[in-house]
Structure 1
Amino acid sequence: MNQKILITALVVVVGLSTLAILEVSNGFISGLVFDQIPYNYTAKVWIPPTHPDDPSSGSLGGFYKINGKGKDFQFYLKLSGAEESESPLDYTAEGLNGTGRIEEIKVTPGTIYSLLTKDVRGAMFNTIFHGYMNMTCAAWTGVTYFKNDGKNFGGNFTIDGTMTDWEGNYTLKWETFRIAATADYLWYPNNQKSSAKRVQRTYYL
């Protein structure tokens, strides 16, 4: 399974889901008020090359959609043309679909300040929340649990592929002009964890 497609898609889904929900809710994200808010959001997405110094490492572009009500949402990610270069076991023209739930969301002073200054990414990193998302794409399924406690933003995931299984964790940090996602995970042939290989890598979004 292509590591770039898998890990960057996972991070994009988690990051943009919470980002979009914060943006469409316009700061009214506590208790019963948030639970009643319906939303439908579409935007473009660009995934930069995993290795910018490698001429053969291309970028990916496309769009994502998120819709739902309150804490429950559906997510769709489409990477244009990726199906032409990827294995049908990894990615197809149907894209990546996710169904998730934000189980808790809590406004902090940093959330309010960020929203007042129209810094939605800052609001995402300053808001306390946790939740999960089930995902399907091509021939694999997976689940990720994510959490931001106000100091650390990250999560863990498991992927069940046709030929390969994955499990690991990731952390997201906001840098000056980008999000750095550091992943630490194992991948191995189905049900052969004794043959696992460990990968540690940082992706930039």
Structure 2
Amino acid sequence: MNNKILIPIFIFLIICGFLTIELAEGNMEEILFDAIPYNYTSYVSIPSTGNSGTLGGYYQIFGKGTDFNFKIVLSGAENYEDPLDYIQDGLNGKGKVTSIEITYETISDLLSRNFKKAMLDTKFSGTFNMTCAAWTGYGNFSNDGKNFTGNFVINGTLNDWEGKFYLVPNGNRIDVPTNYIAYPHGNKAPGTITYINKTYFM
């Protein structure tokens, strides 16, 4: 072989070796992910319950690498909700991805520009904090590539909530089944807890 063929092969082998080491040590995901800015917006819908009608709006996730922000705005909800629970600014939050593992499916999804599926096919976990009107909240989430689950706690001025949520792909949308409890602020005495199961749509 001449040098014109040997040199590219040699460089290719060095790069492959570097990638193998980085992937084995788990560093490549962080290096790649930390360099990627993202900004994704889509719709969100809350079905009607009791005296309230269906609420619709949008959610936005934006950031770079492991640090991200999110926002949920429900158009007109401020006209029907208690100002302690919801105002026109909507729900705002910050989160951090604490671990990530890019899969072959992730890469395939990104190449086909299916960003929603790429999120669901990537293995990761993290934490978040959020605020809306007069309440604050926090939680965590994890995705094993098949199941996306999370926990949340909300501390309000009059009431508190805590429970679990799931992200389930359903055609062109994502269903978000939740099961949680609501109770007077700081009071979980017998008879004060309400159990709720509700599904949201994204």
Is the TM-score greater than 0.5? yes
How much has 1:177 moved relative to structure 2? 2.6
Whether 1:187 and 2:182 are equivalent positions in the alignment is yes
- Whole-angstrom CA distance in 2 between matches of 1:58 and 1:147: 29
Q: Cα gap change, 1:85/1:51 in structure 2, threshold over 3 Å: closer, same or farther?
A: closer
Aligned residues: 173
Match of 1:77 in 2: 72
Q: Where in structure 2 are there 5+ consecutive unaligned residues?
A: 1-27
Partners of 1:31 and 1:72 lie apart in 2 by 12
For 2:89 and 2:194, the matched residues in 1 are separated by 29
Instruction: Report the CA distance between 1:36 and its aligned residue.
Output: 3.4
CA separation of 1:102 and 1:120: change in aligned 2, threshold 3 A: same
1:47 Cα deviation after fit: 2.7
Does structure 2 retain, via aligned residues, the 8 Å contact 1:71–1:102? yes
Residues 175 and 37 of structure 1: CA distance in aligned 2, closer, same or farther (over 3 Å): closer
Amino acid at match of 2:80: S
The residue type equivalent to 1:202 in the other structure is T
% identical equivalent positions? 44
- Secondary structure, aligned partner of 2:109: helix
* Greater C-alpha Rg: 2
Change (3 A) 1:37 1:121: closer
Match of 1:202 in 2: 199
- Deviation string 1:95-121 (CA, Å, 9 cap, x unpaired) is 222111011121111111222222212
Report which stretch shifted further, 150-159 or 113-122.
113-122
1:49 Cα deviation after fit: 4.8
Offset at residue 37 of structure 1 (A): 3.5
- The secondary structure found in structure 1 opposite 2:116 is helix
Out of 82, 87, 95, the residue aligned to residue 92 of structure 1 is: 87
Which has the higher relative contact order, 1 or 2, with Cα contacts under 8 A spaced 6 or more apart?
A: 1
- Say whether residues 1:47 and 2:44 are aligned partners: yes
Q: 1:108 aligns with which of 85, 88, 103?
A: 103
Per-residue deviation, residues 105-143 of structure 1 (Å, max 9, x unmatched): 211111112222222121111100111110011010000
1:143 to 138, 145, 149: 138
